[in-house]
A and B are shown apart, each in its own frame.
Chain A
């Protein structure tokens, strides 16, 4: 036996042992013997010449049968399937698949959805839509898995769960792009409402509903609806239980609706005109008292250094210096420990703005003393609100830097 054949058969045998693990010995032994025979027949099939081809075929059969294997295992374990046949008419119609009652799950999922709504309202984070989308995607995955497990067609056929999953993924992508703090509500609120509805419907069911033939009424109407193609009608004689099918169906529409809403919401958010609040607009640096004389504070949001000049430094007063170096645009840091000769006094002192790119050096007021920069650091307009004592910097009004920067320092009110 060649290496490729050995690998294929070993892997297939391994897989059979994995999915039959823990089943009762009879079922397990039968399955192993079936596969053993099949593998032997295929490897000894003289019609096929290439060993590699046979190996690939075995691996492919193993892979493509995996969903069915898992479904088989579930059924073998739960022992839920019974097929009754009417031998005369040869109907396979009476196939009964265990219908899971989702009533216990609905409150949990509903609670989760309401928690999502609450979390979004209490702490609105910029990318909430992405988080809600992630939850939707997880729910869709779980629903998909449930459906595959419940279906006896081995996962063949059309399901709307993949679409719901796509909706969740789409919401994640949209949420990552748009920073919309309440965007998550687009997904979580409809989800919560729908799940609550299912929950209430389940709660209003009398406890004795599981007893069969509890609802003898309206049978005629139901069979009429059933004949008209309403699959849910067939399940209604069970009472007002929320069937898995009804639940799955409604949650599919909820998922699709949410995804659509998320998409439209993202578009509206994108097109919404808004005032610049960060760089380009007015940035509130904070209260005067939080900037002691001589301090340099980097306000990253507004891209400036707020400098409180002392009298010796040319103040007293506040200057907002754009942190962008006028030379080639690097961000200029304040270097507290850096020593440089002050051209005015002729003495070396500590503490300079110094660009890391080409060593352009500026004093407390952003006045250039060394390096390739063509001018001093640029200034932004500083306003001090007399009542609230807050410092506001208009980052949209920038003046080119000059050696007399310090003369423009805004004096704080006494």
Chain B
């Protein structure tokens, strides 16, 4: 399957959707695991997404300018006794791209199943 010009992959759309979803819940910046859990609810398959698949897709979206990311402040992480998080957030371009992308049917169905509305 080759990427069609201008099209986002289903996974990429799902990531953007999940990001927008988290934003709606007041989470502006999210780390990989939180995103993976949110994706689990959006995707037809109910398992958590693979590490490699997730972080490669995030890297791709960041390279395309749809996501931005930064490393968390080490002090904050140390205070909570956990490793540093990589924090991602949707860019304006990301939101525009999501708004322009037609919802794929499985995703829309999954959202309905979860009782989630359109983003």
Contact = CB atoms under 8 A, between A and B. Distances in A.
Interface of A: 12, 16, 30-31, 33-38, 40-42, 44-45, 57, 60-72, 81, 83, 85, 87, 89-93, 95, 151-154, 156-158, 231
A24 B91 CA distance: 28
Given A61-B51, A90-B97, A153-B9, A85 B65 contact: yes
B52 A67 contact: yes
Contact of A61 (B8, B49, B63, B66): B49
B48 A60 contact: yes
A406 B54 CA distance: 85
Contacts of B64: 83, 85, 92
B52 A65 contact: yes
A81 to B, nearest CB: 8
A152 B3 CA distance: 8
A90 B51 contact: no
Given A34-B55, A71-B56, A90-B93, A65 B50 contact: yes
Interface in B3-58: 3, 5-9, 11, 31-34, 36-37, 47-57
Interface in B63-92: 63-66, 71, 82-86
B118 interface: no
Contact of A68 (B6, B52, B84, B85): B52
Contacts of A66: 50, 52
A40 B52 contact: no
A87 B93 contact: yes
B60 interface: yes
A123 B117 CA distance: 70
Nearest to B85: A37
A37 B31 contact: yes
A95 B83 contact: no
Nearest to B12: A92
Given A40-B82, A41-B34, A65-B54, A92 B93 contact: no
A152 B82 contact: no
Contact of B50 (A41, A68, A93, A158): A68
B57 to A, nearest CB: 8
Contact of B48 (A36, A61, A152, A154): A61
Given A61-B50, A72-B59, A83-B64, A33 B86 contact: yes
Nearest to B32: A38
A57 B36 CA distance: 12
Contacts of A40: 82-83
Contacts of A95: 3
* 4 A-B pairs with the lowest CB-CB distances in the bound complex, closest first: A157-B1, A65-B52, A65-B50, A64-B50
A33 B60 CA distance: 18
21 contacts: A12-B51, A34-B32, A34-B86, A35-B51, A35-B55, A37-B83, A40-B82, A41-B82, A42-B33, A61-B48, A62-B51, A66-B52, A69-B51, A69-B56, A71-B56, A72-B59, A87-B93, A92-B3, A153-B1, A154-B52, A157-B1
A62 B49 CA distance: 9
Given A60-B48, A72-B52, A37 B82 contact: yes
A377 B64 CA distance: 86
B56 A68 contact: yes
Nearest to B101: A90
Nearest to B100: A90
A95 B9 CA distance: 13
A41 B33 contact: yes
B33 A156 contact: no
A243 to B, nearest CB: 13
A188 B65 CA distance: 48
Nearest to A36: B83
Contacts of A31: 55
Interface in B83-112: 83-86, 93, 96-97, 100
B60 to A, nearest CB: 7
Contacts of B49: 61, 64-65
B53 A65 contact: yes
Nearest to A95: B3
A65 B11 CA distance: 13
B51 A72 contact: no
Contact of A33 (B52, B53, B63, B84): B84
A153 B49 CA distance: 14
Contacts of A153: 1, 3, 9
A234 to B, nearest CB: 10
A41 B8 CA distance: 28
A40 B31 CA distance: 12
A63 B100 CA distance: 33
